[in-house]
Amino acid sequence: MEARLRVRRFDPESGEGARYQSYTLDVPDYATVLEVLLQIREELDDSLALRCSCSSAICGSCAMRINGQARLACKTKVAAVAADGGEIVVEPVGNMPVIKDLVADMDPFWQKVRAVEPWLQPKGPPPEREYLVPHEVMRPLADVMACIMCGSCVSDCTVLETELALGKPYEQTFLAPAALAKAYRFVGDPRDGADAERLLALSRLEGIWDCTRCNFCVEVCPKSVAPMDQILALRRKAIEQGHDEYLGARHTLEFEKTVRESSWL
Amino acid sequence: MVLSHDVLVIGAGLAGMRAALEARRKGVDVAVLSKVHPVRSHSTQAQGGINAALGEDDSWEKHGFDTVKGSDYLGDQDAIEIFVKDAPERVVELEHMGTVFSRRDDGRIAQRPFGGAAFPRTCYVADITGQVLLHVLHEQILQAGVRVYEEWFATSLIVEDGVCRGALAMEIRSGQLQAFSAKVVIMATGGLGRVYEPSTNSLISTGDGQALAYRAGAALMDTEFVQYHPTALRNGILMTEGARGEGGYLLNSKGERFMEKYAPKMIELASRDVVSRAEQTELDEGRGVNGFILLDLRHLGREKILERLPQIHELAMDIAGVDAIDEPIPIRPAMHYFMGGIKTDVHGATLLPGLYAAGECACVTVHGANRLGGNSLLETIVFGRRSGVAAAEHVDGVLAANVSEALVSQEGGRIKAVLDRSDSGDSVARIRMEMGQTMNRYVGMFRDEKGLQKAVAKLAELKERYKRVGVHDRSRVFNTSLLFHLELGNMLDLAEAMALAALHRKESRGAQFRRDFPQRDDEEWLKHVLVRYSPEGPSLDYSPVAITRWQPERRVY
Amino acid sequence: MKFAYWPGCSVPRQGTPELRITAAAVCDKLGIELEDLSLAPCTGSGILQARDLVYADTLNASTFAMAEDMGLPLMTICSTCQGVFSQARRRLKEKPDYLAQINQTLEEQGMKYSGNLEVKHLLWVLVEDYGLAEVGKAVVRSLKGLRVAPFYGCYLLRPSAALGLDEHPERRTCLESLIEALGAEAVEYRGKTLCCGYPLVGVNDENSAAMVGTHSVEAKEKGADCMVTPCPLCHMNLDGVQPQASEQRETRINMPVLHLTQLIGLALGIDPPDLGFDRHAVPVKSVLAKLGL
């Protein structure tokens, strides 16, 4: 099978801006985009820089924009994205600076994750043995912890893109899906004792109420974490726990009031 | 400018981060250096679980015996006793840190059966245990404020007067070399799967730590022992042992559960080396299906598969195009784990003063000639922590080294020489592939004198070619080609040590099966083989096996 | 063909009344019969779902039950309604226990939902059931020469699994197909699948206006004469907030935004005064001029 790729190149040492380079090569029918990129490196051009490690969608290294949408290259079959042998456009993830070629600078991503204090904060000393927790409570948290921090959701986040286009520095932008989903993992964990502080911090500007509910993060997440659903779960908990003075919360409560008043239920 | 820390941990997987966390807790200045971001480490690929004798009807003695038997009696029992005794506390500690272990009905940590274990003692998080543990440890590192040198590649250790004083490393983002001065270095760089082709390991598993330690004077031990995992997909991607732990069957072309022949008691849950060799025998004798064995999960039912094994369900779909709910999954053995490594004592101290090691790159050894599933994750935590403790204590008695900046320009010269090489018509990728195929063929599951000699000769040829091969990419920023080249050098040295040790050990034990010496020979070979580096070539030596309470017996599953 | 018809809630009723009028007129011309469900409750718009999912699903299940009671499939004219319905429908279909739980509440009102209702946006109905060839036949005033930028609305495209986009891949480009069936040219631009920013109104107006500005300017730069959208909430932002977007960018954007049913109405020969253009914030004159009206 012939694969045709158009890859965004950027060489910081060249003094030139970004450009696109086309490659055509013969690949196996079941090849993934990552396998093709590695084949390009081996056979045609070993200067193409990219990150990859596990080839099995668990390390999160190879997130990149393929035909405009963030995906894991190791999980994307060439046949699935090259309709009728068309050209596949490969670019680094969006919403982050680019170091070189397909290697993005994920520092802004990690800044956002760190901002939600992503570690368990128990109240008081732990028990002698394990905390007793029902499986039904732990198992869904495993689904949220399935997040491999690949950056796909942040890459394609509408609000983040909008704010960066407005010229906002990273520290002042939307926390973005990955960090917020990570925050939910703790709010939803009965062993964590910092709900009130977390929800307070998350309700502020650029937190849970700034999501525009476009579902891009849900659509692009390779591990079915559905970050937006976690953001909405945080909204629910925030209101339940009395953090309702923010615009988004008030709006939600007013909307709910209107619906309840006018419905049969 | 030299960067200084009391403790420098090289490798940010489970062992590295656990060591750093402990050292930090002891109040020393510790930094971690890693060629990838911590959460990209290979630890994330571990699926099945972590062992601990938590159950009321279980005991450390039982866990210890299973481990010793699994090791085919080559495991050092003093280390194993410490290992299994420490396990319950370490696993509970992981839960306290926030690990979202799957639970029993009574809310306690659930445990599943695993290969070679007489009791279900493998604690798990669905089938993403390694990933979750890795992320939890990363959270702890973030909370503790441990400095991480992210995307830095250690190129060599600094040794002065026979003592390890630090390391030289390249910042991948800029190509700049730096000298790190440290009172103690802890090596935690993981395995070396890419020495073999195919392998279940990530592209980053290139044995850098073992090679650096080896060339710096620390001896390697048990390098002949590599484990083949019985259930890997066509491209090497792993299907967890948990699949068999949950009740999956292995079938040949006749639909037989052939493991009943090879391991009448434990069947599919026999030790990995036994299962892998059984599968290969079935394949060699023509009872495969298109060159594969079938892993059948259908009888487990949709709910159980999606609840307990969601990741492998997805992987089987993505890679093999098979829905495990309706069809069996085609698998075959692939190289998976390196039992050998840098020889250490039970505190992680290597034979090079100032250098410690933990995790897969180390060889304490608790795994001996074959590792049990679920014991590797446990090793990273138990010995990662112990190394952190020992390193913190060690720091007290050591003065900071005066590491010379001249070392940086020397190393820079060595690397520049590689970049300056003209095109030899050969390639790093080709040499690596030939090495991998050679190792898989002759230093794999079934070995013999002739094959091993061929391997040794071929590796010598590849090492010569390596001295001449260059790279096309001459850039400084993020030059992956240069990294692959340096990694290949590490792998070739290790492959040589592995083949020589296999040739030297004239017996079959655990993961080493020699057709020409098919029996275990305790009289002659109940000992470890050590390999030491020298410019003239490797030299071999021995080290005794520590036996405390379990006398060697015949090993049958 | 006949449908149980959910025309949308008070938002479009007050904000975009021209949508209802034109939807009714277009369906009438095409011979699509609509049985009104205007007593059904609001879908929740995604907002209620975040507050109380069970409550919201119960409300939507009751709407589904009403349609089933009529023996008709359900049709919407709003991307957001369609998306919310599709997600609710999927949840109720995939978890029989959950459906049973909700039916308990419905039964108290004498209602029951079987879990199998078909729910489709008018756009999908035209492309999949009515057929574009038939639509083409009904065109009396070809929109030839008009360059139209499609704007889907998030809820009509994501999450793709709930919207059946794998089973019906044509849904990913149905708006372009319809535009072409009417004789116009569909403009290709990145913004067509992106977010209009409506959910941020009153929460972060700066971002909301910025999104409107980005998409309308991009459409303009790609040579569009107008935008078209199957979602009244998108319309309220792309049109209603366009003046703020223009101010934000210190430039006059002036990109007319049509409802899907207005565009179809023009092609079917309905006269402009009957299409409610006077309600728009951004004048539609240039579009009419291009069509010689």
Query: Which positions in chain A touch B98 (Cβ < 8 Å)?
Result: 119-120, 186, 189, 191-192
Same domain, A85 and A112: no
Q: What's C262's domain CATH number?
A: 3.40.50.11810
Q: Do residue C142 and residue C193 come from a single domain?
A: yes
B265 and chain A in contact, CB less than 8 A: no
Other C-beta atoms closer than 10 Å to the C-beta of B145 total 7
Instruction: Report chain B residues whose CB lies below 8 A from the CB of A118.
Output: 139, 142
pLDDT at B115 over 90: no
Rounded distance between C-alpha atoms, residue A84 and residue A77, angstroms: 13
* Rg (chain B; Cα; Å): 22
Give the domain CATH number at A15.
3.10.20.30
pLDDT value at residue C169 = 94
Q: Do residue A120 and residue B139 have CB atoms under 8 angstroms apart?
A: yes
In a domain, residue C174? The reply is yes
Q: Report pLDDT for B551.
A: 96
Q: Which residue in B98, B104, B318 is closest to A120 by CB distance?
A: B98
What is d(CA B102, CA B128) in angstroms, rounded to the nearest whole number? 11
Note whether A86 and A35 are same-domain residues.
yes
Q: Do A158 and C200 touch (CB under 8 A)?
A: no
The residue-averaged pLDDT of A135-159 equals 95
B229 is catalytic: yes
Is the CB of A89 inside 8 Å of chain C's CB atoms?
Answer: no
Same domain, C151 and C75: no
Output helix, strand, coil percentages for chain C, rounded to the nearest 5: 55, 10, 35
- Does C38 have pLDDT greater than 80? no
Could you read off the pLDDT of A222-234 as tens digits, one per residue?
999 999 999 999 9
Residues of C in contact with A232 (CB under 8 A): 49-50
Q: Tell me the sheet residues that pair with C4.
A: C35, C74
Secondary structure of residue B532 in the 3-state scheme: strand
Cβ within 8 Å, pair B44-A191 = no
Domain at C81, CATH number: 1.20.1050.140
Cα gap C195→C201, rounded to integer Å = 13
Q: Do chains C and B touch (3 or more CB pairs under 8 A)?
A: no
Residue C127 located in a structural domain:
no
Q: Is residue C80 part of a domain?
A: yes
Q: Are C203 and A265 an interchain contact pair (Cβ–Cβ within 8 Å)?
A: no
Distance from CA of B538 to the nearest CA of A (A): 31
Amino acid at C286: S
Q: Does B433 touch chain A (CB under 8 A)?
A: no
User: How many CB atoms within 10 Å of residue B27?
Assistant: 10
Residues B100, A141: C-beta atoms closer than 8 Å: yes
Picking from A100, A115, A150, the residue at the C-terminal end of a domain is: A100
Using pLDDT thresholds of 50, 70 and 90, give the confidence band for residue B180: very high
Nearest to B121 by CA among B131, B133, B109: B109
Omega prior to B548 cis, within 30 of 0? no
Is the model's pLDDT at C187 over the cut of 90?
yes
What subunits touch chain B, counting only 3 or more CB pairs under 8 A?
A: A
The tens digit of pLDDT for each residue in B45-82 reads 998 899 999 999 999 999 999 999 999 999 999 999 99
Mean pLDDT over A45-57 rounds to 95
Residue C140 counted as domain residue = yes
Residue B491 has pLDDT above 80, yes or no: yes
The answer on A189 and A159 residing in a single domain is yes
Name every chain A residue with its beta carbon within 8 A of the beta carbon of C194: 158, 214
**Both C173 and C96 in a single domain?**
no
Range of the domain at C143: 132-290
Q: Chain A interface, mutation test: which of B480, B485, B487, most A Cβ atoms within 10 Å?
A: B480
A50 and A177 housed in the same domain: no
User: CB distance from A80 to chain C under 8 Å?
Assistant: no
Euclidean distance between CA atoms A237 and C51, whole angstroms: 9
Bridge-partner residues for B295, per DSSP?
Answer: B250, B329
Tokens of B320: 């093999």
C175 & C217 share domain: yes
Handedness of CA A224, A228, A229, A230 (dihedral sign): positive
Domain check: are C70 and C171 in the same one? Answer: no
The answer, for A158 touching chain C at a CB cutoff of 8 Å, is yes
- C-alpha separations of A5 from A24, A34, A55 in Å: 6, 11, 19
- CB distance from B437 to chain A under 8 Å? no
Please report the pLDDT score of residue C183 as a whole number: 96
- Does a structural domain hold residue C223? yes
Q: Hey, which chains touch A, using 3+ CB pairs under 8 Å?
A: B, C
Q: For chain C, list residues whose CB is within 8 angstroms of any CB belonging to chain A.
A: 10, 41-42, 44-52, 55, 58-59, 62, 105, 109, 154-155, 158-160, 190, 194-195, 197, 199-200, 202-204, 206-208, 210-211, 214
For residue A168, the chain C residue with the least C-alpha distance is C207
Note whether A135 and A77 are same-domain residues.
Answer: no
Best of A41, A53, A128, A139 to mutate (most B CBs within 10 Å, chain B): A53
Which pLDDT band holds residue A184 (cuts at 50, 70, 90)?
very high
| Partner C, chain A 13-72, Cβ-Cβ below 8 Å | 68
- Same domain? For A122 and A241 the reply is yes
Asked if residue C75 and residue C141 are part of one domain, the reply reads no
User: Do residue B131 and residue A135 have CB atoms under 8 angstroms apart?
Assistant: no
How many Å lie between the alpha carbon of C43 and the closest alpha carbon of chain A?
Answer: 9
In one letter, which amino acid is C133? A
Task: Give me B387's structure tokens.
Answer: 């190394």
Minimum CA–CA partner of A212 in chain C: C199
**The pLDDT value given to residue C65:** 96
Q: Is A251 on the interface with C (CB under 8 A)?
A: yes
Number of domains in chain C: 2
Return the structure tokens found at C239.
Answer: 């049109």
Confidence of residue C15 (pLDDT cuts 50, 70, 90): confident
Instruction: Measure CB to CB from residue A212 to each of C45, C49, C200 and give the nearest one.
Output: C200
Instruction: Inspect the interface and report whether the beta carbons of A99 and B100 lie closer than 8 Å.
Output: no
- Give the residue from chain A lying closest to C152, CA to CA: A214
Give CA–CA dist B347/B222, Å, rounded.
18
Q: Given this model, what pLDDT does residue B423 score? A: 86
What's the pLDDT score for residue C240?
96
| Bridge partners, residue A8, by sequence | A20
If asked whether residues C51 and C25 sit together in one domain, one would say: yes
- Residue A214 is part of a domain; what is its CATH number? 1.10.1060.10
B95 touches chain A (CB under 8 A): yes
Domain boundary among the residues C56, C86, C121 is at: C121
Yes or no: say if B293 and B229 are a contact pair by the CB < 8 Å rule: no
For all residues of chain C together, what is the average pLDDT? 95
Spatial contact of B243 and B325, defined as CB atoms under 8 Å apart: no
Check whether the bond before B198 is cis (ω within 30° of 0): yes
State ipTM.
0.96
**Does the structure show a pLDDT above 80 at A83?**
no
In the residue annotation, B244 being an active-site residue is answered as yes
Asked if A119's CB is within 8 angstroms of B143's CB, the reply is yes
**What is the structure's pLDDT at A87?**
95
Instruction: Please answer yes or no on whether A265 and C204 come within 8 Å at the CB atom.
Output: no
Residue C126 resides in a domain? no
The predicted pLDDT at position B401 comes to: 78
pLDDT of residue A120: 98
Q: Are residues A112 and A173 in the same domain?
A: yes
Residue reference for tokens 């631009």: C189
Instruction: Tokens 């199998």: give the residue.
Output: C116
- Of C96, C121, C146, the position where a domain reaches its end is C121
Which of B385, B355, B53, B34 minimizes the C-alpha distance to B216? Answer: B355
Question: Contact at 8 Å (CB) between A225 and A146?
Answer: yes
Q: Which residues of chain C have a CB within 8 Å of the CB of A84?
A: none
- Please check whether residue B304 touches A, CB under 8 A: no
Question: CB neighbours of B231 closer than 8 A, spacing ≥ 6?
Answer: B238, B239, B240, B241, B243, B244, B250, B295, B329, B331, B333
pLDDT score for B284: 92
pLDDT score recorded for residue A189: 96
- The CA distance from C114 to the nearest CA of chain A, in Å, is 19
Share of chain C above pLDDT 90, in %: 95
The conformation of residue C129, written as its DSSP 8-state character, comes to: I
Exactly one of B194, B244, B367, B432 is catalytic; name it: B244
User: Is the predicted pLDDT of residue A138 greater than 90, yes or no?
Assistant: yes
Do residues C162 and C286 both lie within one domain?
yes
pLDDT bracket for residue C9 (50, 70, 90): confident
Among B315-329, B366-380, B480-494, name the one with the lowest average pLDDT: B315-329
So what's the pLDDT on residue A29? 87
Running DSSP on this structure, what letter comes out for residue B371?
P
Query: pTM value?
Result: 0.95
Which is the catalytic residue, given B121, B229, B272, B313? Answer: B229
Same domain? For A93 and A55 the reply is yes
Q: Same structural domain for residues A255 and A169? A: yes
Residues C140 and C260 in one domain: yes
With respect to residue C265, please indicate whether it lies within any of the assigned structural domains: yes
Query: Same domain for C155 and C255?
Result: yes
Of the given ranges (B395-409, C95-109, C191-205), which has the lowest mean pLDDT?
Answer: B395-409
Instruction: Label each residue of B187-233 as H, E or C.
Output: ECCCCCHHHCCCECCCCCCCCHHHHHHHHHCCCEECCCCEEEEEEEC
Q: How many structural domains is chain A composed of? A: 2
What's the domain range around A197? 106-262
Last residue of a domain, one of A71, A100, A129: A100
- Do A73 and A125 fall into the same domain? no
In chain B, residues with a C-beta closer than 8 Å to the C-beta of A36 are none
Q: What mean pLDDT comes out for the span B403-432?
A: 93
For residues B333-356, give the mean pLDDT. Answer: 97
Confidence of residue B391 (pLDDT cuts 50, 70, 90): very high
Of A85, A100, A115, the domain-final residue:
A100
Is pLDDT at B116 greater than 90 in this prediction? no
A127 and A68 co-located in one domain = no
The confidence score (pLDDT) of residue A245 equals: 87
Same domain, C141 and C109: no
Instruction: Calculate mean pLDDT across residues B249-276.
Output: 94
Using the Cβ of B98 and the Cβ atoms of chain A, whether some distance falls under 8 Å is answered with yes
Cβ–Cβ gap B100/A118 under 8 Å: no
Q: Which residue of C has its CA nearest to A214?
A: C154
Tokens of A248: 């988004």
C contact chains, 3+ CB pairs < 8 A: A
Residue C258 in contact with residue C227, Cβ under 8 Å?
yes
DSSP letters spanning B171-184: ETTTTEEEEEEEEE
Residue B301 is which amino acid?
A: G
pLDDT at position A217 over 90: yes
A53 lies in the same domain as A163: no
- Nearest CB to C203: which of A209, A226, A236? A209
Chain-wide mean pLDDT for chain B? 96
Q: Which residues contact A204 (CB under 8 A, 6 or more apart)?
A: A246
A13-51: b or e for each residue (b if 16 or more CB lie within 10 Å)? eeeeeeeeeebeeebeebbbbbbbbbbbbbeeebbbbbb
Q: State the Cα–Cα distance between residues C218 and C196, nearest whole angstrom.
A: 13
Q: Are the beta carbons of A236 and C50 separated by less than 8 Å?
A: yes
Please give the Cα distance from C142 to B321 (Å, whole number).
Answer: 47
Nearest to B87 by CA among B121, B112, B119: B121
For residue range B493-550, what is the model confidence (pLDDT) as tens digits? 999 999 999 999 999 999 999 999 999 999 999 999 999 999 899 999 999 999 999 9
Nearest CA in chain C to A206: C204
Tell whether A162 is within 8 A of chain C (Cβ).
Answer: yes
List alpha helices for chain A, DSSP H. 33-43, 78-81, 107-115, 135-144, 152-155, 158-165, 177-187, 195-203, 216-220, 227-240, 247-262
Q: Tokens 């951004």 — which residue?
A: C282
B103-119: average pLDDT: 92
- Check CB contact under 8 Å for A42 and B42: no
Q: Give percent of chain B with pLDDT exceeding 90.
A: 90
For residues C247 and C153, membership in a common domain is answered with yes
Residues of B with Cβ-Cβ distance to A107 under 8 angstroms: none
pLDDT-derived band at B393, boundaries 50, 70, 90:
very high
